[in-house]
Structure 1
């Protein structure tokens, strides 16, 4: 029987040897104090393996064979409600029967209490079968988990410190409803004329004299927006002055808004479902437009904290998209490999032709590198979050608390470093690999017969949703250069260490990784030096006595980082190459059979990084000058 989990050797490596299950299980099971939990790590991991195998068999038998049908049969809008076609509904009925909606939720809330890592690994498996099914599935347990963590952070969850069992939590009824498969949620952020620029959001929330909140406004492009529970970003603080902090992100708050409720067995709408978008791909995943008209809402946390809570949602979503992209890439590779092995041309199968062999080798190498970075990011994000819960609820000494706080800081730093990188690289490679899959199929790839064109249509949204590729690149650039400005001595020290290892390391692969790191440091140094130089030029006419404040404090990101913003995507590609190489080197040192993968990755990454560095060092001035002239002309016209 086909099994999308068992048939993937690289995925098996992570499950069996590449993930520190011990730390995850100890945190998830509260050091095995829960009365109905597993007795030790081995027992827990056996359960996780059984679940992964179950999902692998299910999607291979019940989802992948019907991908074309799911693509043809769109969800319909009938009398203001979204209606799933029978095949899609049958799949989600089976998912519910398998209790996957509560996979990572606590047992006391009806869940299985598995680590998020297991959810992410199965996300890849489901995404390989059909990425739009995975997209919708993610808005079940994922949104229930968000309700729980938000309640924890705002202080409305009570936990027994002796065994970690939740005694009560604010949205318990909603969470249990999702676990039972009776509802799901979504994130409502985007509005007309307000996408990546969240400061322009206009959906508003108002409070009546009794303290009740109501949301009014329109949201568009909402994935799984036909769900019941909506996390809505809305403006609660009005500011007359554009420079007032409340005029931008500081005026946003987060709300949980039920879109409907059941009264006497009938659904009563509290927010209208206006339309379902007709999309290029992802046909089994609804993208909706909604209107709220004084819809009753629950404020999450405090007023003005909306952006903070949104980041929590987006971090998880970006990790999820990374694993979805792995699944789609895996589907593209396997479809291309299978066709190339059978299609003969000029006396041999086309997978033995040099260019096609090179395509397939690069695709396989890059998806393995992406998996390494995604697993790394997911692990550190989950451990950081679960340490946060332990710090809030567990009884411990001051020494233990200080140690946990240091550990949490380390995990958060590692997760933050790679999250924008994996979202960027995964999304871009999903499109590239799907397009290559079409190319390898030739003329039949342009038809619907083999499914290659569907993969390309499904992939096209990956660089757009849950934060565009350009936003990810800007985040990575900002974090990287910001860290240099905060601690330049550390940056210089790490650069010198990389150059030394590039010459002195005994292992030739370690020397190559160090050279790649040195290339990355060169790119970073060029960008920060150019940024500082441009800033100094901007001090012309400023009294020298004011230079310290002007240079060290008064930074305008849009003005002072223009050169770095221009090259943000190039830097991000180098940063991903570097991060993947570091992770694969660590694997190779612990597991010698992984050396071959590291060598393949370096063969690709070294030349790419040198090319990106050359572009950063030699291009950009002409375009920036043109933009300056255009802006000057526009200002004069006004």
Structure 2
């Protein structure tokens, strides 16, 4: 890891995580059995983070190219057989204790905050995106077992996960049901002993042959759609008459464009013995917890890929000379590299803040799942954390994966023709980046989720939304007396709310604000469809807004963080201006129809935005 990355991560670990809230959720008081005080605990956290970072840089990164060339392994007799390179990765992770960082001590884990585990996975993601996926299969399986499965399964399998002996997979996608999860056909038939027999096929399953599977299926007589799905826990091997037998088979490992070092499998269930998890028809609701966890993880994975791509781009630009000087010193390239760096640093800050909220949510939600009664304060905290995680989940998945694909492509361009050659890692990194755009819900699915959540928030109380719009007006006095970064953020926030409100009124044919304030006027599907056209640009705008929000918070903690706020602000203001121009051009009756008056209005607005950037 470059010294620069190390310093950034250290600052975030110390300052961007709400330790005052998180630590009491894990440790009732100090001293504990292992730590005399909180300072000693933080030193332990720093040591763990340093060890994981060194492992990634010294072992995971050098192995990445060979793992890409040789692949994750093979399919043999219906099971996956990991390659030597992947086996070495598993062994090293287990030796380091990585699989058990956030696992409770009663299952032989360390029981430390989830934050440390996620910060560590980000370092692995910088070393190798494919290895990140395989690592995640151990971590999420342990969490899902502890959170939702029967104690006997937890006691049997979580210690094995900690030792790196077994992992799992999430089985949703079927040949004819991708994003349309509710259309899946895998069936579950009850048996006399309370078990179920599953029949069906799942495709594109990451780590399909890990040994354990959480499977969405439909019971006989269950309703169609998402509401009719139940969740089942299935072991790859079961014992019959004292002998081990396949319970489901791996029929294929996909030959992918990238991420060659990870298994992506077709899994066949043929009278596979399964145990139900949770109540009838609640499968998707439970699985959604894992899906959201995986989406945040994809954002973290993308950050690792961005760091790896830009590390190589910066290094090459400093070493490569053209026109008598390093490429990095040529004016246009210098400006581009500064922009790439600003986006990477800003997204890293967003990820760190999201991890902090996610840790709070995970810990309190686990208490609820285990039947504990929360105090009024903890109930309020859980509600706040849940809302933040819900809002951030599609944003970090969307923004991270899109930025990874874009910045890894830019890293290739920095290398010129050499970037197109397999001799250089940026070629592999860009191939790997495409996967993040697709799995755990495409960018378009994330955009629709983000827009749906925003509309739901407005619909719950339109008057509050409109009131915040009035209160947030620059002339309303709301932003007077603030730090300049806060004042600027609130101006950007007001601009988004104003432009989005205009878009909603136009697309939903609400006519004016008075009609906007009554949710019953929002019901026509054809009007909603018009708004959906703008889901992706809305998600982009929300991504920039949420990132600026976090950067402003960090600027209040430390004056040295203000430079990043302004660098990112100058980067995204022209993007936001373009988005608002797109919204203004859209005509519900005609689609995009640009008249002379429209372009004049847009040019005036753009000039205002660009003037703000200049000043």
TM-score scaled to structure 2, two decimals?
0.90
Alignment of 1:212-231 (within 5 A): 212-231=195-214
Match of 2:123 among 125, 142, 149: 125
Higher mean C-alpha displacement, 59-68 vs 23-32? 23-32
Higher mean C-alpha displacement, 192-201 vs 175-184? 175-184
Tell me the residue number matched to 1:427.
401
Deviations for 1:282-332, whole angstroms, at most 9, x for unmatched residues? 111100001001111111110100111111001111111111111000001
- Aligned CA distance change for structure 1 residues 553 and 150 (closer, same or farther; 3 Å): farther
Match of 1:255 among 229, 232, 256: 232
- Aligned CA distance change for structure 1 residues 348 and 490 (closer, same or farther; 3 Å): same
Tell me the residue number matched to 2:572.
605
Alignment of 1:426-575 (within 5 A): 426-500=400-474, 504-533=480-509, 552=520, 555=523, 559-575=526-542
Residue 146 of structure 1: CA displacement?
1.1
Tell me the residue number matched to 1:48.
45
- Aligned CA distance change for structure 1 residues 9 and 364 (closer, same or farther; 3 Å): same
Structure 1: distance between partners of 2:2 and 2:137? 22
Aligned 8 A contact 2:198 2:269 in 1: yes
Aligned 8 A contact 2:68 2:261 in 1: yes
Q: How many residues align?
A: 587
1:233 aligns with 2:216: yes
SS in 2 for 1:458: helix
1:70 aligns with 2:44: no
SS in 2 for 1:278: coil
Deviations for 1:471-513, whole angstroms, at most 9, x for unmatched residues? 1100100010111111112212222233236863553333321
Alignment of 1:102-141 (within 5 A): 102-141=100-139
1:17 aligns with 2:15: yes
Alignment of 1:295-334 (within 5 A): 295-334=272-311
Higher mean C-alpha displacement, 492-501 vs 105-114? 492-501
SS in 1 for 2:54: helix
Structure 2: distance between partners of 1:391 and 1:11? 32
Residue 552 of structure 1: CA displacement?
2.1
Alignment of 1:3-402 (within 5 A): 3=1, 7-31=5-29, 36-74=33-71, 75-151=73-149, 170-238=153-221, 246-261=223-238, 268-390=245-367, 401-402=375-376
Structure 2: distance between partners of 1:433 and 1:477? 25
Aligned 8 A contact 1:219 1:289 in 2: yes
Aligned 8 A contact 1:109 1:172 in 2: yes
SS in 2 for 1:533: coil
Residue 24 of structure 1: CA displacement?
1.7
SS in 2 for 1:462: helix
- Aligned CA distance change for structure 1 residues 117 and 5 (closer, same or farther; 3 Å): farther
Aligned 8 A contact 1:21 1:45 in 2: no
Deviations for 1:24-47, whole angstroms, at most 9, x for unmatched residues? 2221234469x7453443232222
Provide the aligned C-alpha RMSD in A. Answer: 2.6
Tell me the residue number matched to 2:604.
none
Structure 2: distance between partners of 1:98 and 1:428? 32
- Aligned CA distance change for structure 1 residues 4 and 306 (closer, same or farther; 3 Å): farther
Structure 2: distance between partners of 1:621 and 1:221? 38
Structure 2: distance between partners of 1:375 and 1:254? 31
Aligned 8 A contact 1:6 1:12 in 2: no
- Aligned CA distance change for structure 1 residues 136 and 428 (closer, same or farther; 3 Å): same
Structure 2: distance between partners of 1:107 and 1:101? 12
